[in-house]
Amino acid sequence: MNVTELARKLRINTVELLEVLPQYGFDIGRKAIKIDDATAEQVIRRWKYIKRELEEKKKKELEEKKLKEKELRKELGQDVTLGDKLTVREFAEKLNMTVTQIITELMKNGILANQNQNLDFDTMSIMAEDLGFIVHKEDGNIEDEKKEEERVQSLEEALAKGKNLQPRAPVIVVMGHVDHGKTKLLDTIRHANIIDTEAGGITQHIGAYQTIWKDPKNKKERALTFIDTPGHEAFTMMRSRGAKVADIAILIVAADDGVKPQTEEAINIIKAAKLPFVVAINKIDKESADIQKTKTDLSQKGVLAEEWGGNVPMVEISAKQNTNIDKLLDVLLLVADMNEDKIKADRELPAIGTVIESNVDKGMGPVATVLIQSGTLHRGDKLVLNNEIYGKVRAMKNYKGELVDEAGPSVPIQIIGFKIAPEVGDVLDITKESTATEINLRKKKSEQTGAERTIITADNDSGDEEKKKTLNIVVKADVLGSLEAIVSSFEKIRHAEVGVKIIGKGLGNITEDDVKKATTSGATVIGFNVNATPLAGSMMREENVQFLQYDVIYDLIDWVKEELGILLSDEKIITEIGNMKVVAIFRKEKGAMIVGGRIESGKVMKNVLARVKHEKLEMGIGKITECRMGQSVTKEVHEGMECGVRFEGKPRIEIGDVLEFYTEETKAREIQFL
């Protein structure tokens, strides 16, 4: 056989092959043109083991090279200046490394990202220091660094400024674990049966409502505004945004369930927003309710009840039985009175507020719910967000669905007249109308609906194909808050082998363009509270595109986890048992051998697997089907004893070989969300 033909079969360069073979006992000469067939067959049989060893050598050499580079950088004092946020590509350029190298390093640290995803300063500094760089923090763009801080500050200033500051309704945000009764509590407070219209009993979108309650002190009627936040952990981002527009928080905890991870998460958000809050211990009517244990659990998280010497009012309620709801509302008004200096606004100023819900309505077009926080919004006012004019107020509806001409402080209002749906959390600021410019619709639509984004998938230039299995998805939702939450929940997936790839996303019904994207990429089309247009539905049936509809977000997440689990290969658990050095070959059979030897460590027993090692090189694996000591069959043989074993497998064992015994279990792996 020609050496070039052999090299082609083994997928290696001919010169490399001639250099490698002598290292493994095939001394055919470095300038050989031909190789005899018997030797060629031996090379082919052993090649996968030789290749594995060569790869390990290269890997070791690469690690040694990286270590030397790291030490050299330290010696030379190489430094790098990093900002608060850079894309993977920009970070690679800063370090003068390739994108693939950076992605590989990220994967080692458990972070999987593509070249366009952002990295924060902490992540970059740890990585850069590991690579031997001295890290300096860039002074940075103050505007970028404190954008969110300034947004909150501007809202606080808006509430505080004005010549005619008057008390306004306190804005109350309700937080807690998904099953602890937030929606039922609000339902009871509003005397409206909202929960029956909610899919699966979970709030799907951020909404806002008002209720009137008599002040316990002077018996005057007072309004309270409630922000209803979704309960699933995927909405963490939306919860935190909701907290920043609120004056008071209700932390709801079920007495029969206690403090859960989402409860702790809500506590952290409330504390970060520096909100005064009241704890509502719900479900006290249940037999399994343990109020004292719930209070103890809360105290361990830094939430101490007033009767225990703390400063947090706690009210024991049953939203289902309408128990102590009046007491909870009284306490909320008392907390509002204690913070009355901060709960004031000037109605005479131009309106400032925050977008708490955003969607595209089939009949009305882009619609947003805005909580007015200062001033008054009038019909006909221009809609200014992010210093851009998004449209004009054509109509406004209050929380009852009634058309109104104006909305004052603490009033949640649904606005019709946007040219494009704004982002949840955007600030509506009519005071900046004179300096605002018209919105670039094409650019904004591209950002919202056309932006293709890969979520947590391995880079195409690194790893095996097995490690880059992706679940392709086109997702459309009815409101922007839900779309953000869905994408955010996908981002919580961290796995080296599988990931979610969003081929297309947007608001509104499934269109022909969505189906085309799905067809070309083999994606599944997901509709969250939306349908497909007749033409799109017909196209999906013709093209055999999978179309799934959901109205509960954790049902969608469960489906994604299940699909990724199918893509994920099972985990193999290997337990080493022992090893034996072969000193005798007793019998050779077709597909089996009986060999003898001494157990050097551990033990051997029936039905374990065995690796055949020849001069430390793995030749293959087989199974031990019988163990003998002398003429007796035995279940197991321990260290230091001599025995004979029946080995079934393809490898041919020689005297001097080592058999390594082990067991192997297969366990299905599950996808975890961070």
Binding residues for GTP: 176-183, 228-232, 282-285
d(CA 341, CA 250) in angstroms, rounded, equals: 20
Give, as one character, the DSSP assignment of residue 640.
T
Q: How far is CA 100 from CA 92, 387, 462, 494, in A?
A: 9, 39, 7, 18
d(C-alpha 497, C-alpha 564), whole Å = 9
- Both tokens assigned to 454: 């890969």
∠ at Cα 542 (540, 546), nearest 5°? 35
How far apart CA 83 and CA 310 sit, in angstroms, is: 41
Give the H/E segment covering residue 629: strand 617-629
d(CA 144, CA 270): 24
CA gyration radius for the chain? 33
Cβ-contact 357, 507 below 8 angstroms? no
Distance CA 89, CA 115 (A): 5
Q: Is 540 helix (H, G, I), strand (E, B) or coil?
A: helix
Single-letter residue type at 73: R
Q: 385 with 355: CB under 8 angstroms?
A: yes
Phi-psi sector, 85: left (phi>0), alpha (psi -120 to 50), beta: beta
Q: How far apart are CA 358 and CA 434, in angstroms?
A: 25
- The SS3 assignment for 517 reads helix
CA distance 608 to 627: 11
Number of Cβ atoms within 10 Å of the Cβ of 226: 25
Nearest to 174 by CA among 319, 374, 310, 359: 319
46 phi, psi to nearest 5 deg: -90, -5
Q: To 5 degrees, how large is the angle CA 360–CA 387–CA 394?
A: 45
User: Which amino acid is located at 368 in the chain?
Assistant: A
Query: Please, are residues 489 and 557 in contact by the beta-carbon 8 Å criterion?
Result: yes
Backbone angles phi and psi of 57, in degrees to 5: -65, -45
Neighbours of 124 (CB within 10 A): 25
Gap between the Cα atoms of 155 and 352, Å rounded: 8
List, as one string, the DSSP characters of 313-360: -EEE-BTTTTBSHHHHHHHHHHHHHHTTTTSEEETTSBPEEEEEEEEE
Residues 392, 414 contacting (CB under 8 angstroms): no
* C-beta of residue 280 within 8 angstroms of C-beta of residue 182: no
The annotated binding site is made up of 176-183, 228-232, 282-285
> Would you say 305 and 278 are in contact if contact means Cβ atoms under 8 Å apart?
no
Q: If you write DSSP's letter for every residue of 275-314 in order, what string do you get? A: --EEEEEE-TTSTT--HHHHHHHHHHTT--BGGGTSSB-E
Pairwise CA distance, residues 92 & 507, whole Å: 34
Asked if 30 and 22 count as a contact pair (C-beta separation under 8 A), the reply is yes
d(Cα 435, Cα 115) in Å, to the nearest integer? Answer: 36
